[in-house]
């Protein structure tokens, strides 16, 4: 059986992971088609429908300014997923570069870079983000950038471990014997074989980035109103918890589903891409 078939077959066996993958696709579908499926303008104020409970017209109710919560939830999915993908993309790029250099060259280069990673890991990420945001104006770009540059350390360690193993393999030694440059060996020969665990880690990191963005927006230091995000919808829910339960329930459920779906997808990918299970499947 071909390797791709084994991976797909193992992933399909995990029903929870399939559910997670379907939910991820649904969230992406909603985010991409937000202008089409959103019934109202998410920033349109309606003073005649302030804190209206769920009805046929406003199925998720309205907020303290009369804005449709369902429409804001749909547009908020764009913000959450955008932050998740871009922030994790930044973290992956930094982590791959640092981990590849440390693992390939070893010696003092490895020691220096890993000590820097250790220093970064001792800094509380949330407090570092709050400190940086306090010094600059909060925006979605700043949020994505800060989350990305404070969450690459685990990826760097993972890539380093893969490089330490792979650089001693025969195909790398053969490439060196033919005079291949270090750049070519790193990016053409070793890195493609080290990406499988990175993809798995990325799915978990997306869930973490969504939760972190929601937390920052909830604290008022993330995406700023009137731009809708699940976190700042929750803030309105906190202020009106006694009279408008829907402002807390629906964004809370959305955050839970998004984080859970990416975690389930990551669990399935981790099992499906485990090379030890490939051998068992072949035999």
User: Would you say residue 38 lies in a domain?
Assistant: no
Reference 80, options 30, 134, 155, 150; nearest CA is 30
User: Would you say residue 49 lies in a domain?
Assistant: no
Beta strands in the chain (DSSP E): none
Q: What is the pLDDT of residue 190?
A: 86
User: Would you say residue 163 lies in a domain?
Assistant: yes
pLDDT exceeds cutoff 60 at 279: no
User: What does the DSSP 8-state code read for residue 138?
Assistant: -
Q: What is the pLDDT of residue 274?
A: 67
Among left, alpha and beta (phi > 0; psi -120 to 50; other), residue 229 is: beta
CB distance 150 to 128 below 8 Å: yes
The reported pTM is: 0.86
For 132-188, what is each residue's pLDDT tens digit? 777 877 778 888 888 888 889 999 999 999 898 888 888 888 888 888 888 888 888
For 34-73, what is each residue's pLDDT tens digit? 999 999 989 888 888 888 889 888 899 898 888 999 999 9
CATH number for position 233:
1.10.3720.10
Q: What is the pLDDT of residue 2?
A: 65
Q: Into how many domains does the chain fold?
A: 1
CB distance 281 to 9 below 8 Å: yes
pLDDT exceeds cutoff 60 at 20: yes
Q: What residues make up the domain containing 200?
A: 3-33+61-282
The CA distances from residue 2 to 84, 278, 282, in Å, are 33, 10, 9
CA distance 15 to 7: 14
User: Would you say residue 40 lies in a domain?
Assistant: no
Average pLDDT over residues 235-256: 87
User: Would you say residue 45 lies in a domain?
Assistant: no
CB neighbour class for 65 (10 Å; exposed up to 12, middle 13-18, buried from 19) = middle
Residue 121: both structure tokens together: 């890991």
For 74-126, what is each residue's pLDDT tens digit? 999 988 888 889 999 999 999 999 999 999 898 899 999 999 999 888 887 77
Reference 201, options 164, 165, 166, 157; nearest CA is 157
């Amino acid at each position: 059986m071909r390797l791709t078939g084994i991976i797909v077959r193992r992933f399909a066996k995990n029903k929870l992971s399939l559910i997670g993958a379907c939910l991820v696709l649904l969230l992406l579908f909603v985010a991409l088609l937000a202008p089409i499926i959103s019934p109202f303008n998410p920033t349109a104020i309606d003073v005649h429908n302030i804190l209206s409970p769920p009805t046929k017209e406003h199925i998720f109710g309205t907020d303290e300014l009369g804005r449709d919560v369902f429409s804001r939830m749909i547009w908020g999915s764009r913000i959450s997923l955008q932050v998740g993908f871009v922030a994790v993309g930044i973290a992956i790029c930094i982590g791959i570069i640092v981990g590849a250099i440390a693992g390939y060259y070893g010696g003092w280069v490895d020691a220096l870079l890993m000590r820097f990673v250790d220093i970064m890991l001792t800094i509380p990420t949330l407090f570092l983000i709050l400190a940086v945001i306090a010094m600059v104006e909060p925006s979605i770009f700043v949020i994505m950038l800060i989350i990305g540059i404070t969450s690459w350390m685990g990826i760097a360690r993972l890539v380093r471990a893969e490089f330490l193993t792979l650089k001693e393999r025969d195909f790398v030694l053969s490439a060196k014997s033919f005079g291949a440059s270090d750049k070519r060996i790193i990016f053409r020969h070793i890195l493609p074989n080290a990406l499988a665990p990175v993809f798995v880690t990325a799915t978990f990191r997306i869930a973490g980035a969504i939760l972190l963005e929601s937390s920052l927006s909830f604290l008022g230091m993330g995406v700023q109103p009137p731009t809708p995000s699940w976190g700042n919808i929750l803030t309105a829910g906190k202020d009106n918890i006694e009279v408008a339960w829907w402002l807390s329930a629906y964004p809370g459920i959305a955050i839970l589903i998004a984080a859970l779906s990416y975690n389930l997808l990551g669990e399935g990918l981790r099992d499906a891409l485990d090379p030890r299970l490939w051998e068992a499947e072949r035999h």
